[in-house]
Structure 1
Amino acid sequence: MFSILLGFLDAPMLDYLSDFCKKCGPISVSCASTKEEWFALYEQHEFDCFFFGFEDDIVNVRSVIYNLRSNEHHQHTPIILFSTKIEYLITAFVHWRSCECFLLPFDNEKKEALSSLLHYYEGMYEKMHFTNQKFCQINTPKGIYNLPCNEILYVESTMKKSIVHLKKEAIHVPYPLYQVRRLIPGKNFVQTHRSFIVNLDNISYVDKSKEPWGIFFFDSDKEAFVSRSHKKTLPPFFQGIDDDEMNLD
């Protein structure tokens, strides 16, 4: 079951977010009322997502996030920050681009965005752990590749050929990007750039602080890109806010 650890939030927000998550699907929620309780839960259990309040105790939260990102297992684990202070979220947006940010209080649009994000994460977890495996077969002069679709992060175009980037390796194939796309089953592979086709099921976060946007993936340090003309191909919850919208002016 997809699991979330909530911490560094006041009691009312802790209760609210816990109830909110449980209503979004089969999600296991653990709540920490203190820093010590958070570390105790973190040491005892495996978690797939972290929620943090980002208000007064920002020094401790920064330290925890830094430690998480320094841990190989959690380099790309989803982290969601909640704060009433936009200046804190701007800081987080700049320094921890892997984090999603929600400015409080919640309105209906933000609730819908968080619900969509949680449904995506839970659905992705379900597919990764329980869905029957699909394969993409690519014939090349060097042999036949039978690639598990859920292992494909993205396909990159290079000199009228393509590179299929998997979690642990990269396969060079003598076909242009559009031909490789025809070989991959399912609707979860979308073109995000003239040189990139991306597997939506493996996206961890989208770095919207630069142009073109960067796409990062679970359990990988690889990066794909989203051009301005292809931003709408991403699910709405990944389109989020960009630098213009984060401008205090």
Structure 2
Amino acid sequence: MAQQRIVFVHGAGRFGAAAWPGQHALARSYDCLFLRRAGYGLQVAPSPTDHAADTDAVLAALGSGGHVVAHAEGAVSAMLAAVSDPARVRSLTLCEPAVFSLTRDLPATAARRALLDPLFAAAPGLSDEEYRREYARLVFSAESAPDPGNDPHAAARQRLQSPPWDAPLDIVPGVPTLVLTGEWEPLYEEVAGFLASTGAEHHPVGGNHRPQDTDAGRAAIAAFLSRAGSAALADGRA
């Protein structure tokens, strides 16, 4: 029997397989594809957000169908793919999903919009380093510093990204969904609570912005994929 496919979609800072060190072992049981979103790569020039290209890449990687595991901004294209073709997305696992357009009017998201919208507006006139410093000053505390990742052009890419609360998202109908949060930032707990109200499972597992790297996060992802895979087999979708 062919292995079921998992498509991994990274956030910022790390890309490709380097974004998912805790999930490499899943390749023993699944056909794992680690995407690089549009404008990411060691030899790729930074470019503005391209939700359409990222969504097309997820759907192309899925082929006839599979599971999608996404982190942070990568959850936007993961959910857009599921909205576009829910029959091909057997499950969604969203780690600290930055799907803030779904919660844009809720308190924590509205506060983040008020904080960062002036910076997004000023971005064209700032250098990459000026933008990086101001973003870090506004968003991160000393206790939750940003992950440096593996991207030497992270500051340039970050400056070109569009406000995440402007992404054209809708609720995904009928796709089994797991949400992991790191228990460090009310913004992501607010998003998780909203998704849970639409039927998603929510597991707060620690690990700040990378809950997928914790032991509890790795175990939750593996268990959820196993259940979702068994359900897909039972339904004749795998």
TM-score in terms of structure 2 length: 0.39
Larger radius of gyration: 1
Structure with larger RCO (C-alpha < 8 A, sep 6+): 2
Bigger proportion of residues as helix: 2
TM-score in terms of structure 1 length: 0.38
